[in-house]
Amino acid sequence: MDKLQMKTPLVEMDGDEMTRILWQQIKEELLEPYIDLKTEYYDLGLPHREETGDQVTIDAAQANKKYGVAVKCATITPNAQRVEEYKLSQMWKSPNGTIRAILDGTVFRAPIMVKGLNPVVKNWQAPITIARHAFGDVYKAAEYKVPGPGKAELVFTASDGAETRQTIHQFDGPGVLQGQFNMEASITSFAHSCFQFALDTRQDLWFSTKDTISKQYDHTFKDIFAAVYEEDYKAKFEQTGITYFYTLIDDAVARVIRSKGGFIWACKNYDGDVMSDMVSTAFGSLAMMTSVLVSPDGNYEYEAAHGTVTQHYYRHLKGEQVSTNPMATLFAWTGALAKRGELDGLPELTAFARKLEKAAIDTIESGVMTGDLVGLWEGAAKPRKVTGLEFLRAIRERLCAPTKTEVKHL
Ligand code: NAP
Ligand code: MG
């Protein structure tokens, strides 16, 4: 079989520990045998970030902007213990944070659904994708512990010196205070990312805030989404046959639970933080989630939602056979390849990526799975626990096996 050809390279961001090992195995077992893989390689593994003074992370993000599509392996975000372990000259920042700051955008997370791994909410039949705004609000707030009686005021001083002032509360005893903000530019780019992603994936978009109570703050989010929709997306949504739906956050929560799934739920920063944990837990496991950062100017960075699975790596180093789930990392690759195929007019590349995803899902449905899934398994097939590498090889066998129609024609 001739290998599939690519036009534009994928920006490949390698990472750390157990996921770095899976990364190499995925390439060797499932990609390089079938694709003439073109990547521009950036080693974001912690030793190389240290060697380059973290410049490699910045270069990788710039390359993502240049080429449009990147695939990223999980990376260590150093803490004090890692500084010691890797003899770091400083506690480098989270690579995801650095990349997000350069690309700007919204993180979309969706579960990978498999028959036999059932969501806790039994009526959820299709994935629910959470789109989380990753800027501002309570994550950038100023806070104050009020010591005793006094007046709290909200003061804004314009750049020309003009002052507006309103009373927040007349305290008659101790209490607490918080000042949050967001910016129209960030909310607007959040809106564009969400509408664009809904179009790309042909799914309805829901958005929720608490605008009845927060008449200025949350209402601004609601208004910006409505304006961006009217101006740039209404016609495209109607053509595609998808809808945009705004509702109050409490109403949204009730509707999400009663829904069948199959839509995108855009959430403000805090709501997205909380709701994505709720939704991913109810669907099963972080190793069975896809995650992609979409920037407003159409750059994509595909990654796994979980970390570098350190505990498995330490056991692997001791020579133990570990059963680490490569699904999320594999789907980061297939997501990126499918997008590259779409952008470069290479439908065979996109089709191969989808075929690989299907082979991976079929492998689990046949009962072959990593240890994390065995306890969750409710399928008909008897589950067989395998290592990450054995799992990838089982996918490869399935990929090579002739399909039913091919067999008929033999
Ligand atoms: P983690 O790597 O996600 O692992 C936490 C636990 O979840 C594992 O010990 C394992 O449980 C289970 N798990 C996660 N992914 C799995 C998989 N693919 N297959 C099987 N089990 C899986 O989180 P962490 O231990 O808190 O963080 C480790 C490192 O990852 C840290 O240095 C952190 O900075 C980094 N991190 C990176 C990213 C990123 O780059 N996107 C995200 C989060 C964390 P059992 O041990 O019970 O089997
Ligand atoms: Mg959280």
Report the pLDDT averaged over residues 314-335. Answer: 97
Q: How far apart are CA 310 and CA 349, in angstroms?
A: 33
Residue 103 pLDDT: 86
Ligand 1: residue whose CA is nearest its atom 36: 307
| pLDDT tens track for 179-201 | 999 999 999 999 999 999 999 89
Q: How far apart are CA 325 and CA 73, in angstroms?
A: 14
- Percent of the chain scored above 70 by pLDDT? 98
Q: How far apart are CA 164 and CA 242, in angstroms?
A: 43
Using most ligand atoms within 8 A of CB, pick from 303, 309, 314 the residue to mutate for ligand 1.
309
The identity of residue 12, as a single letter, is E
Among the residues of 124-267, which ranges form H helices?
A: 184-201, 217-228, 234-240, 249-258
| pLDDT tens track for 77-109 | 999 999 999 999 999 998 988 898 888 778 999
Residue 145 has pLDDT above 80, yes or no: yes
Q: Which residues contact 272 (CB under 8 A, 6 or more apart)?
A: 130, 131, 132, 133, 134, 266
Ligand 1: residue whose CA is nearest its atom 13: 309
Question: Which residue, among 114, 169, 166, 156, has the nearest Cα to 290 in the 3D structure?
Answer: 114
- Percent of the chain scored above 90 by pLDDT? 86
pLDDT-based confidence at 410, cuts 50/70/90? Answer: very low
**327 close to ligand 1 (CB < 6 Angstrom):** no
Q: Helix, strand or coil for residue 140? A: helix
According to DSSP, the residues that pair with 155 across neighbouring strands are 165
Residue 400 pLDDT: 86
Element housing 144 (H / E): strand 142-146
Higher pLDDT, 305 or 235: 235
Instruction: Give, to the nearest 10 degrees, the angle between helix 310-317 and helix 17-26.
Output: 80
Report the pLDDT averaged over residues 222-232. Answer: 98
Report the pLDDT averaged over residues 163-167. Answer: 97
Residue 1 pLDDT: 67
Residue 409 pLDDT: 53
Return the minimum-mean-pLDDT range out of 241-250, 259-268, 396-405: 396-405
Report the pLDDT averaged over residues 140-156. Answer: 95
| pLDDT tens track for 265-307 | 999 999 998 898 889 888 888 899 999 998 878 899 999 989 9
Question: Which residue, among 44, 53, 47, 103, has the nearest Cα to 74 in the 3D structure?
Answer: 44
Residue 168 pLDDT: 97
In angstroms, the Cα distances linking 264 to 74, 128, 287 are 24, 6, 20
Report the pLDDT averaged over residues 113-130. Answer: 94
Among the residues of 119-216, which ranges form H helices?
A: 184-201
Residue 73 pLDDT: 98
Instruction: Please tell me the distance between residue 409's alpha carbon and the centre of ligand 2 in angstroms.
Output: 51
One DSSP character per residue, 173-187 reads S-EEEEE----HHHH
Average pLDDT value for the chain = 94
User: Which backbone phi and psi does 34 adopt, to 5 degrees?
Assistant: -115, -25
**18 close to ligand 1 (CB < 6 Angstrom):** no
- Token readout for 254 is 């009730």
> pTM score, two decimals?
0.88
pLDDT-based confidence at 30, cuts 50/70/90? Answer: very high
Instruction: Please tell me the distance between residue 273's alpha carbon and the centre of ligand 2 in angstroms.
Output: 5
**303 close to ligand 1 (CB < 6 Angstrom):** yes
Question: Which residue, among 78, 132, 147, 61, has the nearest Cα to 289 in the 3D structure?
Answer: 132
Ligand 1: residue whose CA is nearest its atom 31: 76
End-to-end CA distance of the chain: 17
Instruction: Please tell me the distance between residue 213's alpha carbon and the centre of ligand 2 in angstroms.
Output: 24
Return the minimum-mean-pLDDT range out of 33-42, 108-117, 131-140: 131-140
